[in-house]
Amino acid sequence: MKTVIIGGVAGGASAAARLRRLDESAEIVMLERGGYISFANCGLPYYIGGAIKEKEKLTLQTPESFKARFNVDVRVLNEAVKINPDTKTVTVKNLNTGEMYDESYDALILSPGAAPIKPNIEGADGSNVFTLRNIPDTLAIKTYIDEKHPKTAVVVGGGYIGVETAENLKEAGLDVTIAEVADHLIAPLDADMAADVHRYIKSKGIKLMLNNGIKAIKGNTAVLNSGEIPADMVLLSVGVRPETQLAKDCGIATNSRGCIITDTHMRTGIEGVYAVGDAVEVRDFVSGAPSFIPLAGPANKQGRIAADNIAGIASEYTGTQGSAVLKLFDMTVATTGLNERTAAAAGIDYDKTFTYSASHASYYPGAMNMSVKALWDKKTLKILGAQIVGFDGVDKRLDVIASAIRFGAKITDLTELELCYAPPFGSAKDPVNMLGFVAENIVTGKVKQFFPEEVASLPRDGSVTLLDVRTDAERARGSIDGFMHIPLDSLRGRISEIPKDRPVYVHCHSGLRSYIACRILAGMGYDCHNLAGGWRLYELVVNERAVPEYRCTE
């Protein structure tokens, strides 16, 4: 049995290694157009910023080491230029010699990946314009910085790679601006959660130009839709497109975006041909919709599944839920599942909530709050997605929620999770438990919510009572127009000041004390609504004003 694999990075290398572990006698040939295999795509920005100091660390395997360990015939700088399904051969060009030859196969795995999108604008091919997708891209950027000593950099696109690269260009000493055509960074985040990221990244000296795409690059100037900014170098990070022309040319079906269509066994419509990784269409695990979610984890799993099926193991890929994490200086941003935009597009009737919980016991030094948002299906209560922005402990909380989604948990099931606790690591009521408690209160009708975007439309004519239950010191730092002030600990003694014949809309800093206020008021017969996320979230979303640090305050 001979298997040819086109592409030697995440999906392809994973498939080759898995196939060898399953079948020691198999003949395996891996063709890679570039000069490197099995390299760490996700580590590339950190070589530019200096966190990774040796370029050799970016290469997880070399052709020689892969051959020694897995007995795979690895051919770098060999480009597959045509697939011939009728003869079960691949036409290959040796990029060193120019030689063309045909390689036969019994099974073929396509793992061509995706290429950075280069906008069709003036100056996009300039010597100071870069994309970041592979090791040669990384070395070109690093060499340019070391030799040309640029002072200013513009990163076009505020996705994961764009934000990571902006951080590392800043660490390399450049004055950095991110230009993003959308209204917020990191598309998997909702705008309200991205507001935390915006405030933090600006505090680190990176400028943001939101709602502002690029029109042209003229020398050392980036011309935006609105304004011009200095740009000794430009990093284009506006997304990727699947590299599937080879597949299309031989009749393999693709979708409107160009992604290869496979079944759950990673088989294409042509017998014996499989496809994996960033080039394939996936099913969104939560919504069930066809999607394009290029991530390393799913690519590796798909490579393994293709190998299983070639070896006779009926393995299936069950979908991608888009779990991802981002380091931004000391901040951590993590997402999984659906956000509000994708939930609405899927036609799901969802609810949401926010919490603001400490990373570990607040009395133990170093506790930092994290902003947590979750969505769930109103009918089934199944968790649809979650987003967390904070510092220490963000990744492990998001991983717990991602696991809960994978196993079909309801939002209320989070109350029952028994998670590790010791003061340096967590709290007896973990942030994941707290998310469940808050959602359970909403689901069971113990509290009603309103959201920051609704505050402006609340009447100020006396038909409702608007109540701020923060302390005097907190109130002095800023308040929402029209909200009367009664600190929580004085509420019972001043209850007569609140009319009982009208709804009460209450807020505190984060939503915790205002929930307590709502329970007091509800117990006395009031109709009370709690501001989800509190004054802190409102100020970030509505006014983008600075708020206190993430140190525990409640």
Cα 313 to Cα 22, 308, 328, 362, 411, distances in angstroms: 10, 5, 41, 50, 35
Dist CA 324 CA 334 (whole Å): 6
- HSE toward the beta carbon, residue 335, CA cutoff 13 A: 20
Instruction: Report the DSSP beta bridge partners of residue 410.
Output: 382
3-state SS string for 389-436: EECCCHHHHHHHHHHHHHCCCEHHHHHHCCCCCCCCCCCCCCHHHHHH
Residue entry with tokens 């902006």: 166
Q: Give the list of residues 6+ apart from residue 457 with CB closer than 8 angstroms, or none.
A: none
What are the backbone angles phi and psi of residue 12, rounded to the nearest 5°? Answer: -65, -45
Residues with a known catalytic role: 42
Asked if 357 and 427 touch (Cβ cutoff 8 Å), the reply is yes
User: What is the distance between the alpha carbons of residues 330 and 317, in angstroms, rounded to a whole number?
Assistant: 34
For residue 199, the SS3 value is: helix
User: Could you give phi then psi for residue 189, rounded to 5 degrees?
Assistant: -80, 145
String of DSSP letters for 126-146: -TTEE--SSHHHHHHHHHHHH
What single string gives the DSSP state of each residue in 319-342? -B---EEEEETTEEEEEEE--HHH
What is the rounded CA–CA span in Å between residue 279 and residue 363?
49
- Distance from C-alpha of 337 to C-alpha of 320, rounded to nearest angstrom: 9
Q: Which two tokens stand for residue 16?
A: 């080759």
Q: 15 — phi, psi (to 5°)?
A: -65, -45
